[in-house]
Amino acid sequence: MAAEPSHRFCVAPMLDVTDRHYRHLLRLLSRHAFLYSEMITAAALARGDAARLLRQSPASGAVALQLGGAEPAALAAAAALAAEHGYREVNLNVGCPSSRVQGGRFGACLMAEPARVAECVAAMQAATALPVTVKTRLGIDALDSDAHLQGFIAAIAAAGCRLVIVHARKAWLQGLSPRQNREIPPLQYERVYRLQAQFPQLAIVINGGIADLDAAEALLAQPPALAGAMLGRAVQRDPYLLAGVDRRCYGEMAPPPSRLAVARHYLPYVEAERSAGTPMSVLMAPLLNLFQGQPGARRFRRHLSERGHRPGAGPQTLTEALAHLAPA
């Protein structure tokens, strides 16, 4: 079993969510969780502006850069940039079913082309010393058998991929929106365990519909042992769930930080980013759900959403918003 303790708890790549600011906030909540960037296409990096697209906050820790693309040379060029920007892994997106991504013939539709994905992985791996991993689905459309999935995984494993993240449902390439494709095809966790049994040398991370840390722990306690669990929307809804990760998944003893302490630690980052010209609303987006379920959370959120856009909004806007919360 190729267990990867580092991946025991992963935060899913989420477009327009897991940007560098969001990752900075998550890192204040957990030192160990493995974070994934939102998908960045190899084409966007090739057009220039890589420095802006790949920028990370200085203390970002373990973060994978997720790439979108289907051309080995372009993906290799993109992968080659990851290490110098502080990323620890390069991940290829073979799970996104959006029509825009299908238009570029990458994302989930690549499940129909195992040889091409293997070529991409090999080219990326040749271009970087970082591990190259793949995030995929169980299948697409009629290509939804265990045999097809096994063939796909065998091809990428032979190309050098040692860790695979499996979103435990298939995708329909026509007729469902990306959102529906995260909800309508049923979850089939048992197929992920079958895959782990078939590929004991691979580290497999399970993803899809995991509601909280209890659910993640329960999935990781079942044989055969998986390398980790990846959560997306549960973190988006309630980022504070990350505060329990270091203790429960990585054996740390330190007590988790309070929500308020985390928001206060985020303040110097806001100051630095505002001075560099980052819009306040962009910096506040990661905080909107931090106090989810706490007294005053709605007023806190409203304050930030309404005033974060105003000219002159700055760190004091956050300090004022924090005053809406009941004292701990």
Ligand X SMILES: Cc1cc2nc3c(=O)[nH]c(=O)nc-3n(C[C@H](O)[C@H](O)[C@H](O)COP(=O)(O)O)c2cc1C
Binding site for ligand X (CB under 6 A): 12-15, 17, 38-39, 66, 93, 95-96, 135, 167, 182, 207-210, 231-234
Q: What share of the chain is helix, strand, coil (3-state, %, to 5)?
A: 45, 15, 40
Q: Residue 50: in which H helix or E strand, if any?
A: helix 50-54
Q: Is the peptide bond before 224 cis (omega within 30 degrees of 0)?
A: yes
Torsion angle of C-alpha atoms 59, 63, 69, 75, degrees rounded to 10: 80
**Strand (E) or helix (H) holding 90:** strand 89-94
Question: Could you tell me the smallest distance in angstroms from the CB atom of residue 206 to ligand X?
Answer: 10
> Which residue, 6 or 91, is less far from ligand X as judged by CB?
91
Nearest distance from C-beta of residue 92 to ligand X, angstroms = 9
Closest distance of CB 311 from ligand X, Å:
29
Closer to ligand X by CB, 38 or 119: give it.
38
**Which residue has the CB atom at the shortest distance from ligand X?**
232
For residues 236-265, one letter each, b for 16 or more C-beta atoms within 10 angstroms of the residue's C-beta and e for the rest, the string is bebbbbbbbbbbebeeeeeebbebeebbee
Q: Which two tokens stand for residue 278?
A: 């980052």
**CB of 260: closest distance to ligand X in angstroms?**
26
Length in residues, the chain:
328
Q: CA dist 150 to 139, 147, 158, 224, 249, Å?
A: 10, 5, 12, 17, 29
104-129: string of b/e by CB count within 10 Å (b at 16+)? Answer: bebbbbbbbbbebbbbbbbbbbebbe
* Between 232 and 308, CB nearer to ligand X: 232
Q: Which is nearer to ligand X, 14 or 313 (CB)?
A: 14
Whole-number minimum distance, CB 32 to ligand X, in Å? Answer: 18
161 as an active site residue: the answer is: no
Task: Tell the smallest beta-carbon distance from residue 66 to ligand X (Å).
Answer: 6
- Measured from the CB atom, the residue of 45 and 210 that comes closer to ligand X is 210
The catalytically annotated residue of 96, 109, 120, 249 is 96
Contact 254, 30 (CB under 8 A): no
> Cβ atoms within 10 A of the Cβ of 65, count?
28
In terms of CB distance, is 101 or 297 closer to ligand X? 101
State the catalytic residues. Answer: 96
